[in-house]
Amino acid sequence: MSPNSDPDALCRQLLGQRTPEHVQARKAAQEAKAPATRTSWTVDELLATEFSDPTWIVPGILPAGLASLAGRPKLGKSWLALQLAIAVGSGGRFLDIAMERGFVLYLALEDSPRRLKKRLEMLRARPDISLRFETDWLPLDGEAGGLEDLQRVAARDKPRLIIIDTLARSFTSHVDWNDLGRTTGAMAALQDLALNRDLCILCVDHHRKVGPTAADVIDDIVGSTGKSAVVDTAWGLYRKRGERGATLRIAGRDVDEQELALEFDSLTGCWQLLGDAREVASRSAQEEILGILQSLREADASLVAKEAGLARPTARKHLERLCDQGLAERRQTILAGKVRVLYAAKSPPTAR
């Protein structure tokens, strides 16, 4: 039977016909698929294989893969993401860490060109930075074609970093982020692209409403656990509204859990690294306690704790550290038959 007399064959022939644009798009989509990687291993093969270290976008805190930068609204997430994009695109520094230069694609889906220009000027971005903004992009879900477009860009331009700001705006309104299955599928497609192309896709996202003491960088991501379970690296930006200081909490599969103390400079639009958040908080508390001792001249741990708004064991720990550093001194006295330990600030040595 000839193809012309076979309705099924004729249908397949007609469906196979494409315009040059269709052929080119199909070819690009096929090229966007990275070569298949090995997926089956025995224990002895794994132990005998030397694997290369992860590709680091920001050494020590952001490897290749799917990542999330989440926080409450209007607390500086987009400023931090833009600062990262400029650092990667220029081969500069981000939070005092040297970057390897690479192309950055930034889907700025909540910003206008005017706002982007203003922020770039505040951050003193150079014109030659390898960074391109897209303020509109087809949805990444369904048959809209946004994911395929992203795959083609990854194959053609080989970006080192793709920033999606925000994740919710890059999908249609039909996505229910509380649906575990749908959320896992949506995030898995982005993760596959990032891992297969050895690049980082950083999704700017939101935190659910949390209490003042809650701070779980994984659980705080808004939506179902299908979102947080898929991401390879999670950044959580925590900042009290109206304050310059913030904490960037980091967790992931290839990174050590850490907390970085940051400070936002509203004049330059730049986040500055202050150091390890716990160490910075400890130094701040000790400086406050030293000021209390200088004001009271002498006090026990209970009084210092009350003045500083700390638990007594915490206050006592800081007092002992001040003594070990030679900034305070302790003495014992007996009051009402009980031994009390009193602390006093040491006077600085006088110059001769």
Q: Is the pLDDT of residue 278 over 80?
A: no
pLDDT score, position 151:
96
Q: Is the pLDDT of residue 10 over 80?
A: no
Residue 23 is assigned to a structural domain of this protein: no
Residue 102 is assigned to a structural domain of this protein: yes
Beta bridge partners, 334, equal: 339
CATH of the domain at 219: 3.40.50.300
- On whether both 261 and 293 belong to a single domain, the answer is no
Structure tokens at 276: 């390890």
Mean pLDDT of 203-208: 92
Mean pLDDT of 7-34: 43
pLDDT score, position 52:
85
- On whether both 333 and 225 belong to a single domain, the answer is no
- On whether both 223 and 299 belong to a single domain, the answer is no
Q: Is the pLDDT of residue 211 over 70?
A: no
User: What is the total count of domains within the chain?
Assistant: 2
For 81-210, where are the E strands, in sequence order?
A: 93-94, 97-98, 104-108, 131-134, 161-165, 200-206
Residue 307 is assigned to a structural domain of this protein: yes
- On whether both 254 and 300 belong to a single domain, the answer is no
- On whether both 288 and 237 belong to a single domain, the answer is no
- On whether both 103 and 81 belong to a single domain, the answer is yes
- Residue-wise pLDDT tens digits, 97-149: 999 999 999 999 999 999 999 999 999 999 999 999 999 999 998 788 999 99
Residue 173 is assigned to a structural domain of this protein: yes
Mean pLDDT of 298-324: 84
pLDDT score, position 186:
87
- On whether both 178 and 66 belong to a single domain, the answer is yes
Q: Which amino acid is at 43?
A: V
pLDDT score, position 25:
45
- On whether both 319 and 231 belong to a single domain, the answer is no
Find the domain containing 328 and state its range: 281-345
Calculate the average pLDDT of the chain. Answer: 84
Q: Is the pLDDT of residue 257 over 50?
A: yes
- On whether both 206 and 290 belong to a single domain, the answer is no
- On whether both 289 and 252 belong to a single domain, the answer is no
The predicted model scores a pTM of 0.73
pLDDT score, position 210:
66
Residue % of the chain over a pLDDT of 90: 49
Higher confidence at residue 26 or residue 78? 78
- Residue-wise pLDDT tens digits, 71-90: 999 899 999 999 999 999 99
Residue 60 is assigned to a structural domain of this protein: yes
pLDDT score, position 53:
86
* pLDDT band, residue 225 (cuts 50/70/90): confident
Mean pLDDT of 286-295: 83
Residue 6 is assigned to a structural domain of this protein: no
- On whether both 61 and 145 belong to a single domain, the answer is yes
Residue 248 is assigned to a structural domain of this protein: yes
- On whether both 209 and 311 belong to a single domain, the answer is no
Q: Name which of 186, 188, 154, 161 is nearest 106 in CA terms.
A: 161
Residue 190 is assigned to a structural domain of this protein: yes
